[in-house]
Amino acid sequence: MKIAVIGAGIIGITTAYELACSGHAVTLLERRGAAAEEASFANGGVLAPGYLAMGAAPGMPTQVIGRGFSRQATLQMGLPVSAGKLAWLWKWHRADQPDTCLRNRVQLQRLAFYSRQRLNQVSADLKLEFEGSQGHLMLLRSEKESKLLQAGLQRLRDAGVAFKEIDPSQARKIETALNPDTPFFGAIHFPDDAVGNCRQFALLLKNEAQRMGVKFMFNTNVTQVLSSSPIALAIAGESTASEFDAVVLCAGLDSARLLAPLGLRIALAAIHGYSVSATIRESLNAPRSLVTDQHYQVCISRLGKRVRVTGGAELGGSPEKKSAKALATLYQVLRDWFPGAAKLSGGVQEWKGARPMLPDGLPIVAASGVAGLWLNLGHGANGWALSCGSARVLADLINGKTPDLDVSGLGLNRPSA
């Protein structure tokens, strides 16, 4: 089939690759001049299926405003407060009810484990080498945090996820550079979790996809999806629409705008977060892999010769307006755990990006109901961790094959989408 993929973020690139593997003639259209320039640019790199199953997500609080146990770890509301934001929060709150929440976590966990398997397979098949490291130490500053996690840990035990609750001295043997002056209650070690450089992987996979025949059209802005027969795309600056046998929408945040004229409304919100990336000054003082601070909901990732600190969650707001307080929290958490690890005097990359998030935290990986239009979007705080699995599943659906994973809960018509 002749298939168009809209968007060259991690979701669009993995989708284009999987479709090419299935023998389709794929064209990827991207409004930017390069791949992975938006949400997939400098994310935390966390690949932690177990962590997700606990209801956590990289740098994202699990608490709705006002219900958090710490101010730093609650979702902040970007101004202005609009009816749309309040409606999104209401849906988020509803999806947070015990039964719904548990069902969603199981779904997320399954997709994350499947995705990890597919990521490892693709990386091995193509011999892709990207920055990353293995292992995850979740630091708990207080006994209260440990107690709050117990229900989540039980779910992990039930699901057979490998982890160990350990005391500070054991934690310091795993992450030997942890600041001896910062006390903490304990830690949880996930040996199978990992971090990887999402943008680097996306660029490497883009090259492979190109070699397989995928046509990349950069600086190409899709203005409208036309529900004609066959399905077609209106492109800025072109007088005639381009026709395809199928279109896959992977346009991140912009997906909601492209769907609305087709009568498809989704509650996709921008949850902005921050990352600070700096060169490691002295390897001995740096983290070996992924360290998360449960209190601040901040991740510290080792990516090759750099350390990246990620966190913060603002509903709405703008990517240009950076919060000095949110950035200061990232620097403070890095100083708390790994003082002297990174060169912070110059060449530091401070980034603000938007997680394209649906209220229940699950993506949409499904047919749209409009003939020829497929959706792979709304991966929120976990797009990198879910990308390879979502892409494979979507390619199977397009091929008319039953995917290896039950994705019945990832459709468009669910209450919190």
Residues contributing to the site for ligand FAD (CB under 6 A): 6-12, 29-32, 37-40, 43-46, 58-59, 221-222, 250-252, 254, 258, 273-275, 310, 353-356, 377, 379-385
Smallest separation (angstroms) from ligand FAD to the CB of 274: 6
For the bound state, the minimum distance from the C-beta of residue 44 to ligand FAD, rounded and expressed in Å, comes to 3
Nearer to ligand FAD among residue 32 and residue 103 (C-beta): 32
Cβ closest to ligand FAD, residue 42 vs residue 186: 42
Pick 47 or 186: Cβ nearer ligand FAD: 47
Helix locations, 314-382, DSSP H: 324-337
CB contact at 8 A, 410 and 363: yes
In the complex, the smallest distance separating the C-beta of residue 41 from ligand FAD, rounded to whole angstroms, is: 7
User: Could you give the 3-state DSSP secondary structure of residue 368?
Assistant: coil
Q: Rounded to the nearest whole angstrom, what is the least distance from the CB of residue 167 to ligand FAD in the complex?
A: 27
Q: Judged by CB, which is closer to ligand FAD: 186, or 377? A: 377
Amino acid identity at 301? S
Is the bond preceding 58 in cis, omega lying within 30 degrees of 0? no
Which lies closer to ligand FAD via its Cβ, residue 135 or residue 273? 273
In the complex, the smallest distance separating the C-beta of residue 165 from ligand FAD, rounded to whole angstroms, is: 23
- Least Å distance between CB 311 and ligand FAD? 7
Please, are residues 358 and 416 in contact by the beta-carbon 8 Å criterion? yes
CA distance 221 to 224: 9
Peptide bond between residue 230 and the one before it cis (omega within 30 degrees of 0): yes
Shorter beta-carbon distance to ligand FAD: residue 186 or 220: 220
Q: Residue 136 Cβ, how far from ligand FAD at the closest point, in Å?
A: 11
Sign of the dihedral through C-alpha 313, 315, 318, 321? negative
State which residue, 341 or 377, has the beta carbon closest to ligand FAD.
Answer: 377
**Residue 263 class from Cβ within 10 Å (0-12 exposed, 13-18 middle, 19+ buried)?**
exposed
List of E strands, 14-140:
25-29, 46-47, 76-77, 132-140
Integer Cα distance of 323 and 147 in angstroms:
31
CB of 111 to ligand FAD, least distance (A): 11
Burial of 375 (0-12, 13-18, 19+ CB in 10 A): buried
CA 203 to chain centre: 16
165 alpha carbon, distance to own chain's centre:
26
**Cβ nearer to ligand FAD, comparing 171 with 253:** 253
Q: Which ranges in 251-399 belong to alpha helices (H)?
A: 255-259, 324-337, 383-398
Kindly list the strands in the beta sheet with 232-235, ordered across the sheet, starting from the edge strand earlier in the chain: 222-226, 232-235, 242-243
